[in-house]
């Protein structure tokens, strides 16, 4: 090994070597979603959680069916840099949504810096 690469070791497997060029990159997203935000259960819904790069932020979440039908819009704000919202799978008319998957768009605004961005959700 010449000092380049990434070595992964887990208790359940043998060591593996991954080799390739090191390439820096910039991520310009205004939020970083938790893995749990991508999972929902029909009984309880979904908890959206994401980290923002600034303490103060406002957000609007638009949830749509896979065919693009608007189902639910939620809004909120944070002063600690953590976006949290719960969707109980009820649409804007109080009807229970029973699809297997949904699309979401997050509209995020950071008032202190004036940055804003629309992101497809987890």
pLDDT at 25: 74
The dihedral through the CA atoms of 70, 51, 101, 68 has a sign that is positive
Q: Are 57 and 108 in contact (CB under 8 A)?
A: yes
pLDDT at 121: 78
pLDDT at 1: 45
**CATH number attached to the domain at 29-120:** 2.60.40.4070
CA distance 92 to 112: 30
pLDDT at 86: 95
Domain ranges of the chain: 29-120
pLDDT at 112: 96
Q: How does pLDDT run along the chain (122 residues), one tens digit per residue? A: 455 555 555 655 566 666 677 788 777 889 998 888 778 888 889 999 999 999 999 999 999 998 999 999 999 999 999 999 999 999 999 999 999 889 999 999 999 999 999 998 77
pTM: 0.76
CA distance 85 to 37: 10
């Amino acid at each position: 090994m010449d000092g380049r690469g990434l070595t992964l070791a887990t208790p359940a497997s043998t060591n593996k070597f991954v080799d390739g060029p090191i390439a820096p990159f910039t991520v310009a997203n205004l939020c970083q979603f938790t893995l749990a935000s991508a999972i929902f259960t029909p009984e309880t819904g979904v908890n959206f959680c994401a980290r923002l790069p600034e303490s103060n932020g406002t957000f609007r979440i638009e949830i749509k069916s896979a065919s693009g039908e608007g189902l639910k819009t939620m809004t909120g704000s944070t002063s600690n840099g953590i976006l949290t919202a719960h969707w109980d799978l009820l649409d804007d008319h109080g009807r229970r949504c029973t699809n297997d998957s949904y699309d979401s768009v997050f509209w995020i605004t950071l008032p202190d810096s004036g940055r804003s961005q629309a992101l497809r959700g987890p």
